[in-house]
Every structure is written in structure tokens, then in C-alpha cells.
Amino acid sequence: MMKKELIECIPNISYGLNDNMLHSIVQNLNKIQGQKLIHMDSNEGANRTVLTLVGNRTGIRNALLSLFQITSQNIDMRKHQGAHPRIGMVDVCPIVPLQGISLKETLDFTRSLSQEIAEQFNIPIYSYEHSQDQSYRKHLPQIRKGGYEGLIEKMKKPEWKPDFGPLPNSEENILAIQKYGATVLGVRPILIAYNVSIKTDNTKIAQQLAHEIRSIGDGKGNRGAFEALRAIGWYIPEFEHAQISMNFLNYKITSPLEVYDNLKEKCKSLNIEVIGSELVGLIPQEVIVKAGEKMAKKLDRTELNTDQLIPLGIDYLQLNAIKPFNPELHILEKVIKNVMNIELSL
């Protein structure tokens, strides 16, 4: 039996205020058939909102066109400030095939969608990950290097011409790029966005810890401890502490559990307390269950089922310390089951 087509789409908006603009986005998305908004995560300090949509190609297409329509009317990147790196109002928009659709079909869909968005809204689109063949511009940090502030000068270089959309070769296009920035859009695997909070306001300590764990290390040839991991250190005024903010590009190669343990050891040696951890978006159930198994072993509890292991995993990772973590709202498989009545097996 053919599984129902299911695509995950995670647009990241350079806007973190929980106000009428975000409410308008939610109201409009809730009217669009063929997709569901299953999660929204806003952070005022980062000035960023991460939306998670799941649906078929038609539903995701219509949802993104609606999103770009609203954001283009309400966000002006010339006025944007925030802790999170960004190059545009809809900064990055990953597309993840979950089931019932091949990688090729997803790539074809994403290419068509990128062209439509670029033409309709006069926004440069950079393809990335599976959607990009050129190695020097395949990954998000490569494309986003220089930030929004350096975008126009970067785009003038032939090697940084966008894959779709306008060039800064006319006054009209320059004004559009100044207002909207650019969007990075492409097909990638499941990514986990996960932050560990530490009891200090010293951003340099958080940055040093990020350099020690992330794959690229310090950027000077000294690689970090883990593969398939991106990390930065920053201070979040909203929380009044520093964080190591991470993207796990392949959680089966490097998991939040092992990095969390590593950071706890590093912080212990620095006499800094780990306050807890924070998820941005959704997380596969397997990660929480494995943390639960570690906690169960620590407590000498055996023969626990999945439902019993999940709260132990949440406790082990201190996922309720920064903001509430509800497995029914934050575990990917549970959310899709609750919202769409679809059993997802990853």
C-alpha cells in the first residue's frame, strides 16, 4: 500500500515578536488545505520564528506563497536586528521528504517552487543541500557568510549569482533586495535545532565551547569533536544567559544526547552550571528515548516501554528548564499522529 505523500517544510522568518503579523500568518495557514502548521517557535532575542508545516506538494506550495505574501508586506530587513545569523526575511526554507515521495520528485517540486517565489515576489533564491550541485555554495553557512549586511556586494560576484530571482543590477532590484534580502531554499534531511543554556553572560565562553564541538572547529584548521554538527555561541537577553546553539545535520551520526553529555563535562571543568537545554522546532522520538534509556540505567530501572522512557529522556536532557517541553507538541511522530492522524516511521 502506497504511503500518503508527506513533506515537511520549515520556513525560518526573521521576525520574533508574537504579535498581529504572526497571528495573521497562522490564521492564513490554517485556511490552506493539503497542509498543516504543526509547530511554531518564536524567540524575541534571536528575532526569529521557526514554522513547521507538513503536507502534500500542493498544500506546501500554497502555504509558502501565502507566507511570502504576508512577510513581504510586513518585514523590512533594513530595520532588522537580532542575535540569529540571517540574510533575508524568510531566511531559510528547508524541504524534507518524509514519506510517499521520492527525492527526485521533491527536488523537482522545490526547483519549481523556488522559481515561482522568485518571480512572484522579486526575491533572490539560493538553492542548498540536495538542491545544489556546487560544493562551494551547498551549505547554509557558506551562503549566509557575510550576512544580510554584505548580501548585495556578495551577489555582485559572478560565483554568488542567485539560482533564481533578481540580481542587484537595477535600482528596482537593489531596493527589493535591501527590503527582503534573500531566501535559501532546498531539500535536506531531518535536522534538529537544539540549544544548551549555560549559567554565564559571557558570550566568549559559549563561542569557545561551540568551536570545540562543531565540525568546522575554530575555522582555522582545528576541527571540533563532532561530525555533522554546526554550533555558535550567543547571549540571549530574554533568558539572561548564554547558549550554545546547534544544528544536528544527521542525528544518527551525532545526537543531541552525546553532545549534551560532552558539554556538561566541559562546563564542569570550567565551574559553569548547565542550566538546561531547549529544542527549536520538533525532534524525532528516537533521540528522547535514547536519553531515557541512559537515565533509566542511571536509576537502575529496567524493562521500561517507550511511553515510560520519554519523560526520563526529557528529564535527562533538562528539556523543561528553559521553556516547557510537551512530548505531544514537540516529538515529530506524535505531532503528526495527533494533527494529521498519520503514523510516521522514521
Residues acting as catalytic residues:
84
Name the amino acid, one letter, at 256. Answer: P
- Rounded Cα gap, residues 41 and 321, in angstroms: 16
Say how far apart CA 343 and CA 213 lie, in whole Å: 35
Angle formed at CA 285 by CA 282 and CA 288, multiple of 5 degrees: 95
The amino acid at 143: I
Angle between the 285-298 and 306-316 helix axes, to the nearest 10 degrees? 80
Contact 74, 169 (CB under 8 A): no
Whether 22 and 56 have beta carbons less than 8 Å apart is answered as no
Eight-class DSSP state of 229: E
Q: Give me 298's grid cell.
A: 542511571
H helix intervals, the chain = 20-30, 57-74, 103-121, 140-144, 151-155, 171-180, 203-213, 256-269, 285-298, 306-316, 327-330, 332-340
Q: Which amino acid is at 153?
A: E
